[in-house]
């Protein structure tokens, strides 16, 4: 593991900040006064510092709603905002299937966040890539050109330099990158079909995406084929489905399959139920194909199902 304590120390000031309020200052709530004294920090962040004991008034611990008065001395230990360390290298476990001077093929495990964001500022695949491949610090987003949801397992490609990243992004835009997934869904799915439905934020639940009156909707196309059907130990019908993406919208397969009445097993955000021991949405990025930057040849990679996915499939009684 990298010495994260040393990394953090480089962001911290050597001494706390001290402010003595003017003798003609008006009595005011501490958090409001701090917001005026430290305008580079949000009020909610300052309130967090107060609550965690990183702010003292006259050398005493205080609360957010406490009033400060003329002549009071406020001592503040500035804390590292979580996003400041978002792009720090960390020793994160993930599997590399193949690599070249232009790209890296990662087999992402379920449970690993791809890119830092709100609530997940460290311990992501991006942090792990920067640790294992330090040269990626010079590439935008550490070379990541497409993402997988936290609880989706499987393949994604990472560019090792700017030109390769541009090459891959253009293929994604042209819809020439082939991304094939396996999903276990509720119900019995007809043989095959294509879902063409715009996806955007759900106006009622911000963490969800939706095809029903979506906010800032974008075109999305998913091709699906039913592979086999069966029932779980709970006597619930399920179907193993192959999905091929033309576009790559957030939660695309999860939203599209739920929109036609076949939510993914254990995808509780979109109406799925936890069956046959499944504890996360059963979605796996099985195959990836694209044109190689250096040779121009079409190359492809495949990934076996994760162990937990296989265990669920073994618990199902298959009918075909």
Q: Which H/E stretch holds residue 204?
A: none
In terms of Cβ atoms closer than 10 Å to its own Cβ (0-12, 13-18, 19+), residue 273 is middle
Over residues 113-127, the mean pLDDT reads: 84
Residue 86 reports pLDDT greater than 80: no
111-122 in b/e form (b: 16+ CB < 10 A) is ebbbebeeebbb
How far apart, in whole angstroms, are the C-alpha atoms of residue 154 and residue 170? Answer: 22
How far apart, in whole angstroms, are the C-alpha atoms of residue 100 and residue 155? Answer: 16
- For residues 153, 157, 161, 162, the Cα torsion angle rounded to the nearest 10 degrees is -100
In terms of Cβ atoms closer than 10 Å to its own Cβ (0-12, 13-18, 19+), residue 232 is buried
Place of tokens 């830092």: 116
pLDDT digits (tens, 9 = 90+) for 156-177: 999 999 999 999 999 999 999 9
- Provide the 8-state DSSP code for 244: E
Q: Which H/E stretch holds residue 148?
A: none
Over residues 190-212, the mean pLDDT reads: 92
DSSP reduced 3-state for 88: coil
How far apart, in whole angstroms, are the C-alpha atoms of residue 15 and residue 29? Answer: 24
Question: Is 80:10 a contact under the CB 8 Å cutoff?
Answer: no
Residue 126 reports pLDDT greater than 60: yes
How far apart, in whole angstroms, are the C-alpha atoms of residue 190 and residue 298? Answer: 31
- Record the pTM: 0.76
Percent of the chain with pLDDT over 90: 75
How far apart, in whole angstroms, are the C-alpha atoms of residue 153 and residue 110? Answer: 5
Residue 109 reports pLDDT greater than 70: yes
Give catalytic status of residue 149 as yes or no. Answer: yes
Q: Residue 37 to residues 30, 43, 62, 76, 226: CA-CA distances in angstroms?
A: 10, 11, 17, 11, 61
Kindly indicate the confidence band of residue 84, based on its pLDDT and cuts at 50, 70 and 90. low
How far apart, in whole angstroms, are the C-alpha atoms of residue 75 and residue 16? Answer: 6
How far apart, in whole angstroms, are the C-alpha atoms of residue 258 and residue 224? Answer: 13
Residue 235 reports pLDDT greater than 70: yes
**pLDDT recorded at residue 85:** 57
Q: How many residues does the chain have?
A: 320
Residue 11 reports pLDDT greater than 50: no
Catalytic residue among 149, 151, 267, 308: 149
**pLDDT recorded at residue 105:** 98
Residue 182 reports pLDDT greater than 90: yes
pLDDT digits (tens, 9 = 90+) for 239-260: 999 999 999 999 999 999 999 9
Beta strands of 78-170 (E only): which ranges? 95-99, 103-108, 153-159
pLDDT digits (tens, 9 = 90+) for 291-302: 999 999 999 999
SS3 content of the chain, % helix, strand, coil (to 5): 25, 30, 45
Residue 45 reports pLDDT greater than 60: yes
Over residues 302-310, the mean pLDDT reads: 96
How far apart, in whole angstroms, are the C-alpha atoms of residue 144 and residue 126? Answer: 8
Which tokens belong to 276?
């046959």
């Amino acid at each position: 593991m990298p010495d994260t304590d040393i990394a953090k120390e480089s962001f911290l000031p050597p001494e706390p900040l001290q402010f003595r309020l003017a003798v003609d200052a008006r009595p005011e709530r501490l958090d409001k006064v701090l917001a005026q004294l430290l305008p580079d920090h949000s009020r909610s962040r300052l309130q967090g510092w107060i609550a965690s004991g990183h702010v003292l008034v006259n050398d005493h611990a205080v609360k957010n709603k406490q009033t400060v008065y003329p002549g009071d001395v406020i001592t503040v230990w500035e804390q590292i905002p979580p996003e400041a360390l978002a792009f720090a290298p960390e020793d994160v476990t993930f599997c590399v299937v193949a690599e070249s001077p232009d790209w890296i093929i990662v087999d992402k495990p379920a449970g690993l966040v791809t890119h830092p964001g709100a609530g997940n500022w460290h311990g992501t695949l991006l942090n792990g890539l920067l640790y294992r491949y330090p040269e990626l610090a010079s590439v935008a987003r550490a070379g990541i050109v497409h993402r997988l949801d936290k609880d989706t397992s499987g393949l994604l490609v990472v560019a090792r330099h700017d030109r390769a990243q541009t090459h891959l992004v253009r293929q994604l835009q042209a819809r020439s990158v082939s991304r094939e997934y396996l999903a276990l869904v509720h119900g019995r799915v007809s043989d095959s079909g294509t879902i063409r439905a715009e996806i955007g934020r759900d106006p009622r639940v911000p963490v969800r995406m939706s095809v029903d009156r979506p906010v800032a909707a974008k075109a999305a196309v998913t091709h699906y084929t039913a592979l086999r059907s069966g029932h779980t130990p709970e006597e619930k019908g399920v179907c193993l489905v192959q999905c091929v993406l033309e576009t790559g919208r957030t939660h695309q397969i999860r939203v599209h399959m739920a929109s036609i009445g076949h939510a993914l097993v254990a995808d509780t955000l979109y109406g799925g139920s936890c069956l046959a021991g499944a504890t996360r949405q059963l979605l796996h990025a099985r195959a990836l194909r694209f044109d190689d930057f250096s040779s121009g040849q079409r190359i492809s990679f495949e990934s076996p199902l994760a162990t937990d996915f296989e265990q669920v499939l073994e618990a199902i009684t298959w009918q075909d």
